[in-house]
Amino acid sequence: MSLTTMGPKEISKRLYRTDKVHEAVASPALVDESHKRFYLEKGFLAVNNVFSPGEVEAAKTGLSFLIGGGKADFTGVQFEEGVDVSELSADEREPYVRKLMWFVEHEARLKALAAHATLLKLASWLVGDEVRLIQDMALLKPANIGREKPWHQDDAYFMLEPLDGIIGTWKALDAATTENGCMQFVPGSHKLGAKPHYHDRDCQIADEDVDVSKVVAVPLSPGGVVLFSGLVHHGTPPNQSAARRRALQYHYASVKCRSTTADEHGKFFYDAKGMAACTGMKPRSIADKF
């Protein structure tokens, strides 16, 4: 059953938690083999102070530059649904931005962070192989209206295999809290394999298939990063606070990953009626799983 019609407050209450909070490792310098074992067991690893305050400010400046029209050929800005920005100036539009996509070749400051030595070292170490960038985006939750990103697996978006060769990296540019929509995970869910995905509030795992009893929230300080398996179940609740939440998300894949066809992708992400993924198919609703 989809909870979509119940609205953001009820969805937040039913599908997300604020009572089970995971504490990030304080610094990359403190990361050791026990943390790699944690990642392999739980499917994610959170580390604060990966980026310096200066790097965080440079990233925010870079995002504002693109949102404000600094690059005329950049068209990857998406706004929150239901907001009319047509009469707003560039500066006035920024608080309503939900997402930016494919910007690293347009903005040098954001490209530099995608190639950040510490970040790449952590990602390669956890994957167990050299990695390459496969996706760049910025995920912004505007104050009070930033909507949920429903529970999903990122591998459902990428037609690549092996599935365990993909790693997401989510970098906080503002304090990411349980109030403004920090990342939440179902620890160990990556071990369950690929799950069918449907298109209700976004591309998502069916609401009834989320194991809310195990959910943990992962707050981060500005400059902190959570690295996570492409198969771990994760989502972010609506932002119902007065504080906006900005984050960068770069995905990397092992250099040994290969591209797959839609048919091959569908062998991983399927249900009794056929392919159920985020790409390579006609979207299906949760109701269509039965």
Residue 197 lies in a domain: no
Contact between residue 124 and residue 177 where contact means Cβ atoms under 8 Å apart: no
pLDDT in tens, 145-159: 999 999 999 999 999
At 239-278, the pLDDT tens digits run: 999 999 999 999 999 999 999 999 999 999 999 999 999 9
Distances (CA, A) of 84 to 44, 69, 91, 176: 37, 17, 14, 26
Contact 74, 102 (CB under 8 A): no
Q: Is the pLDDT of residue 290 over 90?
A: no
User: Which is nearest to 168 in space by CA: 270, 18, 46, 20?
Assistant: 46
Beta bridge partner(s), residue 133: 252
Q: How many domains does the chain have?
A: 1
What is the rounded distance in angstroms from the CA atom of residue 242 to the CA atom of residue 237? 14
In a domain, 275, yes or no: no
Task: Read off the tokens for 272.
Answer: 């009794």
Cβ atoms of residues 104 and 110 within 8 Å: yes
CATH number of the domain bearing residue 100 = 2.60.120.620
Q: Are 248 and 72 in contact (CB under 8 A)?
A: no
Mean pLDDT score, 175-192: 98
Residue 111 lies in a domain: yes
| HEC readout, 45-68 | EEECCCCCHHHHHHHHHHHHHHHC
Tokens of 6: 């119940």
Q: Is residue 185 part of a domain?
A: yes
The H or E element that residue 10 is part of is helix 8-15
Residue 172, phi-psi category: left (phi > 0), alpha (psi -120 to 50), beta (remainder):
beta
Residue 94 covered by a domain: yes
Report if residue 61 sits inside a domain. yes
Does the residue 265 lie in any domain? no
pLDDT of residue 289: 87
Answer yes or no: is 281 within a domain: no
Residues in contact with 222: Cβ distance below 8 Å, sequence separation at least 6, in sequence order: 53, 56, 172, 173, 174, 175
The whole domain housing 234 covers 4-148+164-189+209-258
CB-based contact 5:193 (threshold 8 Å): no
Residue listed under structure tokens 């990342």: 183
What pLDDT is stored for residue 90 in this prediction? 83
16 and 237 in contact (C-beta within 8 Å)?
A: yes
CA distance 4 to 130: 40
pLDDT value of residue 4: 94
